[in-house]
Structure 1
Amino acid sequence: MTSPDPRPIVQIDIVSDVVCPWCIVGFRQLDLALKQQNILAKLRWHPFELNPNMASEGQNLREHIAEKYGSSTEQSQAMRDRLTQIGADLGFTFAFDEESRIVNTFAAHQLLDWAEAQGRQHPLKLALFEAYFTNQKDVSNIDILLEAAETAGLDRNAARAALESGAHVGPVREKQQYWTSRGISGVPSMVFGGKYLLTGAQGADTYAQVLQRCLTEAA
């Protein structure tokens, strides 16, 4: 009989979108802090759409950034270079190119909502990050979503049925409303132990500090 893992566990809720580069950066930093502190996390991912009105065909990413934030081509490239280096330092590959596109993520959030009940939400979220940022795949496309589901150990046919049923449209909308009504307007937003909110990719050291605070209070 296997003994239970003696390491302490902290509940962490992460409000995130799968096309947010700082969400995967923040998670990687958090994961580093957890490993350094020898702490386990009970992770739950929650839906947020950076671009809820994005058309089904998506938009060129550089054009989108210019329109939304007023960034010049030079500023956009500098941010891509910075993200690529930060990702590399954390063991994650950002593969931006001139064809990179921003896409609608509502279907992806529905699939993640379904995957939570299957106990595979976390691996699916990571598979979607890799599909979008590393492999430059369209995560609004149902076939790409089903590929990610299989990568995460989920049944492809069951995943398709979940998406086509529309059963997760309402729950995802309700969860989005829950977080926005509590002031969440940017991602990643991480809630530690149901008490402490950190927004943005804050770095492993900052995450380690709040993790220790949670453990101290729990003790």
Structure 2
Amino acid sequence: MTTPATLRIDFVSDVACPWCAIGFASLQRALAKLAGKVHADIHLQPFELSPQMPIEGEDAGEHIMRKYGIDEKKMDANRDAIRERAAALGFAYNVHHGSRVWNTFDAHRLLHWASLGDNARALALKQALFRAYFSDGENVSDPEVLLRIVNAVGLDADAARGVLETGAYADDVRAQEQRYQQAGIHSVPATIVNGAHLIPGGQPPEVFEQALQELAASGASGT
């Protein structure tokens, strides 16, 4: 019986990035198809699209049009494209006029904390945060929302409350963000395999599948 190739996958993303949600779902679908051939050691890495976002958030439409210099027609077309891609992956993208953009730093701190203990639950937390943000329109900068999500995926809500209230792991998250920015990652999602091979953007599952299969077959490494 052939032993599956093990690939380290660093998934650099922001909870507030719809293409990151699509990329994450695509990656998971690809890995499911490669079961028995590829074993993925997934590490979630932080990136903030809007690190200065105030606690009250901002209207999503106004934010996107200003940040990317596009008009409402182009924004709506982009949203339709995202909605279609998301639906194909079984993911409801319910962003519309009136939706808001939220600060995600505390969410990243909780993801870092979760990854230190139970990586499977950290991945579940990531997926749940994407769903809360894009499907349910929840404020993921609200501590009570975050704690409810933490509890729902089976993590210790009391420990998570301690993380939120003490500012724990803030320096760790900032350091990781800086590390990837210095490495040239300026847009997300960025999927880095074995520390050296970049799969950029929210690719379809088949693109991830082919790339990972080729890297596994070649014995790719970061050396």
Give the stretch that moved more between structures: 207-216 or 170-179: 207-216
How many Å apart are 1:6 and its aligned residue? 5.3
Deviations 1:155-204 (Å, cap 9, x if unpaired)?
A: 11110001111121111111111111101101000101222012211222
**Matched residue, 1:216:** 217
Say whether residues 1:207 and 2:204 are aligned partners.
no
**Matched residue, 1:152:** 153
Letter in structure 2 aligned against 1:124? L
Say whether residues 1:37 and 2:38 are aligned partners.
no
Q: Distance in 1 between matches of 2:149 and 2:42?
A: 19
Please give the residue correspondences for 1:1-219 in structure 2 after superposition, counting only pairs within 5 Å. 7-38=4-35, 39-119=38-118, 120-218=121-219
Letter in structure 1 aligned against 2:30? A
| SS state at 2:207 partner | helix
Contact 1:29 1:203 (C-alpha < 8 Å) held by counterparts: yes
Q: Distance in 2 between matches of 1:113 and 1:174?
A: 12
Q: Distance in 1 between matches of 2:96 and 2:47?
A: 25
Contact 1:193 1:214 (C-alpha < 8 Å) held by counterparts: no
Deviations 1:79-132 (Å, cap 9, x if unpaired)?
A: 111111111111101111222111111111111111111212111111100111
Contact 1:192 1:210 (C-alpha < 8 Å) held by counterparts: no
Q: TM-score, normalised by structure 1?
A: 0.93
Q: Distance in 1 between matches of 2:69 and 2:193?
A: 33
Q: TM-score, normalised by structure 2?
A: 0.91
| SS state at 2:70 partner | coil
- Structure 2 residues not aligned, in runs of 5+: none
Letter in structure 2 aligned against 1:92? F
| SS state at 1:10 partner | strand
Contact 1:37 1:208 (C-alpha < 8 Å) held by counterparts: yes
| SS state at 2:97 partner | coil
Q: Distance in 2 between matches of 1:94 and 1:203?
A: 16
| SS state at 1:24 partner | helix
Q: Distance in 2 between matches of 1:20 and 1:123?
A: 17
Letter in structure 2 aligned against 1:140? S
Give the stretch that moved more between structures: 190-199 or 132-141: 190-199
Q: Distance in 2 between matches of 1:123 and 1:140?
A: 18
Letter in structure 1 aligned against 2:91? F
Q: Distance in 1 between matches of 2:32 and 2:107?
A: 28
How many Å apart are 1:28 and its aligned residue? 1.5
Percent of aligned positions that are identical: 40
- Structure 1 residues not aligned, in runs of 5+: none
How many Å apart are 1:54 and its aligned residue? 0.9
| SS state at 1:140 partner | coil
| SS state at 2:44 partner | strand
Q: Distance in 1 between matches of 2:83 and 2:205?
A: 18
